Amino acid sequence: MAFPYLEAVLGFMILVYIFETYLDLRQHHAHKLPSLPKPLVGVISQEKFEKSRSYSLDKSYFHFVHEFVSKLMDFAILYFGILPWFWKRSEEFLVYAGLNAESEIWLTLAFLAGLSFWSQIIDLPFSLYSTFVIEDRHGFNKQTIWLFFWDMIKGIALSIVIGPPVVAAIIVIVQKGGPYLAIYLWAFMLVLSLVMMTIYPVLIAPLFNKFTPLAEGDLRVKIEKLASSLNFPLKKLFVVDGSTRSSHSNAYMYGFFKNKRIVLYDTLIQQCKNDEEVVAVIAHELGHWKLNHTMYTFIAVQILTLLQFGGYTLVRNSKDLFQSFGFDTQPVIIGLILFQHTVTPLQHIVSFSLNLVSRAFEFQADAFAKKLGYAEPLRAGLIKLQEENLSAMNTDPWYSAYHYSHPPLVERLTAIDQLDKKTE
């Protein structure tokens, strides 16, 4: 008797939706709490707390609607056999367009283009509402409707340029991979990720934002001095105009080997009270580098990717899998999509595990910055970022454990305080 793949996937989708909705309700209740958690009393102003509470509740209500519609659409697509129906329509389109409908590559590209178009149409109202209603209502949105759609057009254009060669390569590798298919797929994705990590900040990111060297001054001197003291090979220090789209703030670093770069959002510089707070945030980021967190994460992702492709090779020729979802042929891209659905339970466990590791890394990076003497400015910087971004002040422990890759502010401040006590 064939294994009921479709029924199992749909059943798990329902169970996950129920579980995650329960967690969302717990977090929604936390958002409604009328007072700050004790560690933040006297630290966060009541005005900022009320604004944060209002923002969090708005996003929470929106999330309930968005998740319900998204999960309902995903369920319907699988239950009513929309994927095999769309695959056949894609074949008919190629015939109508005078293209080779026998070519799996052309057929796959037509199929993915149609799905992407459908996805854009379905998600567009939610994106518009999130950006121009919720974010605008709370003072975060800075972009015009023209800029919104211009970014979308550029994103679609990039997909058209990058997507087809990648898809074609994957299909050819699967068709000719033989017994070492998993290794070939993993090697291809490894090279692709390294290439994208190289070209993204140089060629792609500047299409959406303007990057300018950080001006000469005390802040630049302090960051360069910190990087030098840690032997961090800082080559370039940029400020990105994040304020053209949002008043949310951030900072990050990238680059390989001896060619590292640090990027500061202009909003981060504007929001922090002084240079020391900005430098403390950078010290935290450099802690991730010094403690090899980025490398450990990269290696873990590569191992998981190899295991995932290994699992795919075990079921890629399973007629039962394809027939369960309504397919009478076994296209490469469909096999990958169906396999992703069947291993979703494992992906949730892996995601939760990675979040646990990520939170541990965040505590370690905070401790690293504290050891460099940035405990107080780091505390002040974290509090300022929490205030300015109107991040949730009250968080449900179950929700944050399941969803958050970064610990809530209360936990980070408590950990920094405990470090202070240990050193006394």
Neighbours of 90 (CB within 10 A): 20
User: Which phi-psi region, left, alpha or beta, contains residue 248 (left: φ > 0; alpha: ψ -120 to 50)?
Assistant: beta
Longest dimension (CA), the chain: 77
* Burial category of 13 from C-beta neighbours within 10 Å (exposed 0-12, middle 13-18, buried 19 and up): middle
SS3 252: strand
363, 415 contact by CB (below 8 A): yes
- Burial 284-323, CB ≥16 within 10 A → b, else e: bbbbbbbeebeeeeeeeeeeebbebbeebbebbebeebbe
Could you give the residue numbers annotated as active site?
A: 285, 366
Give the tokens for residue 6: 């479709």
d(C-alpha 67, C-alpha 69), whole Å: 6
d(C-alpha 280, C-alpha 19), whole Å: 38
Q: Residue 154 — φ and ψ, nearest 5°?
A: -65, -40
d(C-alpha 424, C-alpha 419), whole Å: 9
d(C-alpha 298, C-alpha 306), whole Å: 12
Give the tokens for residue 237: 């220090």
410, 40 contact by CB (below 8 A): yes
Q: Is 362 annotated as a binding residue?
A: yes
Q: Which ranges in 316-374 belong to alpha helices (H)?
A: 319-324, 332-342, 344-369
CA angle 269, 405, 420 (to 5 degrees): 70
Nearest to 25 by CA among 422, 350, 402: 402
Neighbours of 139 (CB within 10 A): 12
352, 107 contact by CB (below 8 A): no
Annotated binding site: 284, 288, 362
Annotated binding site for Zn(2+): 284, 288, 362
